[in-house]
A and B are shown apart, each in its own frame.
Chain A
Amino acid sequence: MKNYIEPLPAPAKNDIRSYIAGLTLSLVLTVSAFMLTWAYVQSDRQLFTRGWLIAGLALLACTQVAVQAVYFLHMSAARKARWTLASTIFTLLVVLTIVFGSIWVMQNLHYNMMPHMEGSTEHMQIEENIQH
């Protein structure tokens, strides 16, 4: 009788299907991402808009992470595995905060440090001319 937590429910003894499904889906997703990028580079960056391609690649990568989490790591929402799921969701939250927070803050910093403000370009050019 098992009435305690089972952090990651193992697949049944003979269930090889989970791994085959994980491998197949991951292969399809990886090859698609590679082909899209390759087609874009080969077409002299004319085939798609860069922004859409990045969005597409991000979607493919996120899908693949989800596929591997389910089929390789056997994560589930089952009650026994709830604390595994909870710790993972919290980690994802921190990961997103670190990554997007850093990008956001540093972009703002970069933007504010650029000599694009009223009159400042002229000012810097004058300064440079004096120095040279």
Chain B
Amino acid sequence: MSQVTTDLIHSKATFGFWLYLMTDCLVFATLFATFSVLRGATAGGPDGRELFDVPFVFVETMLLLTSSFTVGLGLLAARRGHRRALLTWFALTGLLGVAFLGMELYEFAHLVHEGHSWTRSAFLSSYFGLVGAHGLHIAVGLVWLASLLLFHLKHAVDERGMQRLVQFSLFWHFLDVIWVGIFTIVYLVGVL
């Protein structure tokens, strides 16, 4: 295959992946819409003012934002052919992702333990639905990241490998963009 043909295939694959991200955007849009409509439906239970610990979520936000930065640095390292730097930056991204997910699960467990689970009110159902869907994406992303790390421990980054790294980085940046919406709409506006 000529260089132009392989490049064409790669650019089409990236565009296809972008279209997947756009449809995932629509999934999150429906969850955001559900949450926005039901945010006042607390059924006499607690609302965001009583439940959300904004400084805690602020730290989560910082972790995810930093991980979006490190994944970009990993991609740059891969483009320059520095496999060791790629592995370091991606491993750091994974650690930040695990810390983020750990904090989120701690928050969820705390809420459920206090009796504020998704069965308490429509507000809490939509809250767990939206934030949980994002957390699930992060969990899937971490498994994907682990498989990339394991693969590139042994293998150099070739053309196809580069394409996979680009797609993962797009996925990870996308999740950070969605989190900006969650942090603002759910948490910040939730405690006003």
* A37/B191 in contact, CB under 8 A: yes
Considering the chains assembled together, what is the distance between the CA atoms of A30 and B187 in angstroms? 12
- Any chain A CB within 8 A of the CB of B37? yes
Residue interface mask B163-190, A partner, CB < 8 A = 1: 0001000100110110011011100110
Counting chain A CB atoms within 10 Å of each CB, the highest count among B54, B73, B76, B183 belongs to B76
* Minimum Cβ distance to chain A for residue B149 (Å): 20
- For the complex, would chain B's binding face be called helix, strand, loop or mixed by DSSP majority? helix
Is A68 engaged at the interface, CB distance under 8 Å to the other chain? yes
Query: On chain A, which size bracket covers the interface?
Result: 35 or more
Query: Is B62 interfacial (CB-CB < 8 Å)?
Result: yes
A16 and B30 alpha carbons, distance in the complex (Å): 35
Q: Which of B26, B54, B72 is within 8 Å of A34, CB to CB?
A: B54
B192 near A54 (CB under 8 angstroms)? yes
Distance to closest chain A CB from B138 (angstroms): 16
B11 and A13 form a contact (CB under 8 A): no
**A88/B22 in contact, CB under 8 A:** yes
User: Which residues of A are found within 8 Å of B69, using beta-carbon distances?
Assistant: 19, 22-23
Interface centre among A7, A41, A60, by most chain B C-beta atoms within 10 angstroms, is A7
A residues whose Cβ falls under 8 Å from a Cβ of B: 1-2, 4-8, 10-11, 13-16, 18-19, 22-23, 26-27, 30, 33-34, 37-38, 40-41, 45, 50, 53-54, 57-58, 60-61, 64-65, 68-69, 72-73, 83-84, 87-88, 91, 94-95, 98-99, 101-103, 106
| Cross-chain pairs A/B with CB under 8 angstroms, 11 sampled | A4-B7, A13-B76, A18-B72, A22-B68, A34-B188, A41-B191, A73-B170, A73-B174, A94-B26, A95-B25, A99-B36
Binding site for A on B (CB under 8 A): 4, 7-8, 11, 14-15, 18-19, 22, 25-26, 29-30, 32-34, 36-37, 54-55, 58, 61-62, 65-66, 68-69, 72-73, 76, 79-80, 166, 170, 173-174, 176-177, 180-181, 183-185, 188-189, 191-192
